[in-house]
Chain A
Amino acid sequence: MIFSTLERILTHISFSVVSIGITIYLITFLVDEIIGLYASSERGMTATAFCLTGLLITRWVYSRHFPLSDLYESLIFLSWSFSIIHKIFDFKNNQNHLSAITAPSAFFTQGFATSGFLTKMHQSRILVPALQVQWLMMHVSMMVLGYAALLCGSLLSTALLVITFRKVIGLFLKRKNFVNVNGSFCFSEIQYMNEKKNVFLNSFSARNYYRSQVIQQLDRWSYRIISLGFIFLTTGILSGAVWANEAWGSYWNWDPKETWAFITWTIFGIYLHTRTNTKWEGVNSAIVASMGFFIIWICYFGVNLLGIGLHSYGSFN
């Protein structure tokens, strides 16, 4: 009883802290860069990470098994993974774009997990015989960590695509405007216009430079974090295979969840291969990674939604 109360308290604290943190993020992003506010939102993320850790430990203690046996728990774990990734990269260097991805991701997964949609799953349940083994800890935690890292990386790639395309659109629009404006002014004002144009072009190229810097940063960070996620995913799939050989009698069963995990692995394998060709870095690899984003969600949710196959533990019922 005390445990469930504690759990509820921790859930609410972490959720509200995260939502406050997001609001602060948005304010600093949209209105102005206020350093004090930014620091407080960082503190909020730390608090969230601690709350989620506490939540998971509480659940672990009172259900006496590693809290990764159903969808609700894995969502909490995913949210925890996001906050941990956030903290690690925040610790490593202060200025990066990853925090803009991880914080909202943690918020949304946490929000989804605690929303009314999944309320009846909050009760921790007993484990079916096949799950009562240490492999559960290894396999599922690695998979969810992998999902978290890959989601971050593919979101960074999506951000890269958005920025690139906005650049193209923006360039197009500005040229058009410029021609129009230029045509409408009379001849005597050309001198003045030329001056203006110079100023405009200067500021524009500076912005372009900044943009390309951002794109390069996004590209590199998404590569790095996807590589990390790929390691987790590989470990998760392989440990799952070894476990399956112990429990189900075969290391590979072409179960839907397995197959989709393998598809995810293949897609990110393709991503890593596109990186070996310098011509394809940037936009092309970002497209692959963005596809990977959807495939992870199919793997994580879609298969459970259908509730088919041997991985039916995490389904919606």
Chain B
Amino acid sequence: MGTLKPPTLPTRTHILKAPLLHSTFNPQLHTLFNRCITLSSTISCKLRTSQDVKKKKDNVSKKIVFSDSSPPSLKNDEVSGEVESKSGVIGLVKRLPRRVLAALSNLPLAIGEMAAIAALMALGTAIEQGEAPDFYFQKYPEDNPVFGFFTWRWILTLGFDHMFSSPIFLGLLVMMGLSLMACTYTTQIPLVKVARRWSFLHSAEAIRKQEFSDTLPRASIQDLGVILMGAGYEVFLKGPSLYAFKGLVGRFAPIGVHLAMLLIMAGGTLSATGSFRGSVTVPQGLNFVVGDVLGPNGFLSTSTDAFSTEVHVNKFYMDYYDSGEVKQFHSDLSLFDIGGKEVMRKTISVNDPLRYGGITIYQTDWSFSALQVLKNDEGPFNLAMAPLKVNGDKKLFGTFLPLGDVNSPNVKGISMLARDLQSIVIYDQEGKFTGVRRPNSKLPIDIDGTKIVIVDAIGSTGLDLKTDPGVPIVYAGFGALMLTTCISFLSHTQIWALQDGTSVIIGGKTNRAKAEFPDDMNRLLDRVPELVESSLSKQSDGISG
């Protein structure tokens, strides 16, 4: 039957599906689909319309095509959200967990939860957090409510003054977590099971029903297979049928996203309940014990041996730009264990914390502790610096050196002001500007006969300390989330093809990249070589013979 088909073959063939014949004579199909005991075969024959009659002879070779009864029925295996109600109390009790699961994995519920969380977070940024009740009494008075109803009563009753730890918000997060779990269990995993089950399509009609379908008039399915393989597809070829898929991992990835979210939530919970925090301002040269600074955050917080570590601030200093602005803060810290042995020494700075035994020490703040001065070559005296005005990041510190009789009611003296550890501005008794001196410049300044030398400026470092057992879990979640989100971008593409005489019918679908898919497919199909006549006849021989 090696006759050539005319190129004007209509692409649409009419197929009569008649599941009458129960055939058992196709062993290949049986090994493949062993769950079908009786294959309902379809007799596909062309409806003889007037213009088709003349081509009747050519189509004899493929008149009877056995195919799987239907395109793979994906829907059957999906666990549907609905649970059939069965009478009987036992049945009800048995079904209750499933019912709860089904309710939780409900997509509109999940979307509602996400929207509610987003709305509460927005509200949490709109309402000032962590203020005293008086603040809310004034800002949201009862006689002039915001939007006509929103008063301080709402805020304080619902706990919106500490939104991100309020029971409503945390409850929603818990609900979200439960929904994530339920959805993963009842919807996502079954979907993957279905997606993994691949099958050939044996009817041209089923292939044409796909989102993308095309017919190559003179092509061989082997060439198509090779080209698809080159494009990264897994290709399965059996007789005249081809099945290829790509990006199956894109189907798994959303499960990973959900699990990663759960991991992050678990880590966050551990962080919230099991961590210690504390901050301390230590003048240079002094020391403190870690355990004295750290305070427990939640009921799971347990102290460790490392809490007895003593931290000594060897040095605190700042780097400056040429313009005089602060570039970086540094604290040189030494850690001593309980026996007084130095176990670690590190210079920390912003972005470069110290980690020891689960404790992390951050450089977060600074302050001006004291000014060391020589007065008429006496001393040195340590003058404590007091913060004068803290306006944003601009800090100002000042101190006062009394001159003359200290016990008189209106004592006069020298005022010294500083914005940083770099330069000290000095004013005389009348409050007039006298000069600027740098510490350790050793340059004396003379104020009404009093010689002042600024020996050193002693800063104190502001440190934050914490232990957080949740961080490794959260980081694992972050890594997983990043990876799985990226993988989720991949689209699961499935392609079926069928050699039909000399033409190849191709159909395919994809779950995400629907926009690019037709273009990509066309680009691939353009590369399928067209068969010339000699090889064509051989090809058809092979198929029909």
Contacts and interface: CB of A to CB of B under 8 A. Distances in A.
Q: Most A CB atoms within 10 A — which of B110, B268, B478, B513?
A: B478
B117 A266 contact: yes
Contacts of A273: 107, 110-111, 114
Contacts of B129: 254
Contact of A126 (B321, B488, B519): B321
Interface stretch (B5-13, B53-61, B345-353, B532-540): B345-353
Contacts of B111: 270, 273-274
A262 interface: yes
B78 interface: no
A128 B515 CA distance: 44
B336 to A, nearest CB: 23
B216 interface: no
A126 B489 contact: no
Interface stretch (A13-21, A113-121, A186-194, A227-235): A227-235
A22 B1 CA distance: 62
A93 B519 contact: yes
Contact of B475 (A133, A235, A242, A254): A242
B326 A129 contact: yes
A223 B517 CA distance: 13
Nearest to A303: B125
Interface stretch (A69-77, A164-172, A199-207, A245-253): A245-253
A76 B277 CA distance: 39
B362 A259 contact: no
B74 interface: no
A246 B125 contact: no
Interface residues of B, number: 52
A211 interface: no
Contact of B328 (A132, A221, A269, A270): A132
A273 B354 CA distance: 41
Size band of the interface chain A makes with B: 35 or more
A223 B488 CA distance: 13
A256 interface: yes
Contacts of B326: 129
A176 interface: no
A129 B327 contact: yes
A46 interface: no
A241 interface: yes
B350 A238 contact: no
A174 B349 CA distance: 70
A122 interface: no
B447 interface: no
B164 interface: yes
Contacts of A269: 114
B351 A132 contact: yes
B516 interface: yes
B118 A234 contact: no
A245 B471 contact: yes
Interface in A262-306: 262-263, 266-267, 269-270, 273-274, 276-277, 303
Interface string B472-485: 00110010011001
Contact of B350 (A92, A93, A247): A247
Contact of A224 (B277, B393, B475, B515): B515
Given A126-B321, A249-B362, A270-B114, A227 B489 contact: yes
A249 B466 contact: yes
Interface string B490-533: 00000000000000000000001111100100000000000000
Contact of A247 (B107, B110, B351, B474): B351
A87 interface: no
B474 to A, nearest CB: 6
Contacts of A230: 485
Interface in B110-125: 110-111, 114-115, 117-118, 121-122, 124-125
Contact of B364 (A93, A227, A228, A248): A248
Contact of A252 (B115, B268, B489): B268
Contacts of A241: 474, 478
Nearest to A247: B351
B368 interface: no
A260 interface: yes
A130 interface: yes
A228 B121 CA distance: 24
A132 B268 CA distance: 27
B486 interface: yes
A254 B485 contact: no
Nearest to A281: B514
B360 A263 contact: no
A217 interface: yes
A254 B488 contact: no
A126 B471 contact: no
Nearest to A274: B111
B446 interface: no
B353 A246 contact: yes
Contacts of B328: 129, 132
**In this complex, which of A92, A234, A262 has the most chain B Cβ atoms within 10 angstroms of its Cβ?**
A234
B357 to A, nearest CB: 17
B292 interface: no
Most chain B C-beta atoms within 10 Å of own C-beta, residue among A92, A132, A241, A266: A266
11 contacts: A129-B329, A132-B328, A220-B514, A223-B514, A234-B481, A234-B485, A249-B277, A250-B466, A263-B122, A270-B111, A270-B115
Given A241-B474, A249-B364, A252-B268, 14 more contacts: A93-B516, A126-B325, A135-B351, A223-B514, A224-B512, A224-B513, A227-B512, A231-B489, A247-B351, A249-B466, A260-B122, A263-B121, A270-B115, A303-B125
Interface of A: 92-93, 126, 128-130, 132-133, 135, 217, 220-221, 223-224, 227-228, 230-231, 234-235, 238, 241-243, 245-252, 254, 256, 259-260, 262-263, 266-267, 269-270, 273-274, 276-277, 303
Q: Which 6 A-B pairs have the closest CB atoms?
A: A220-B515, A129-B350, A266-B118, A133-B351, A249-B464, A249-B362
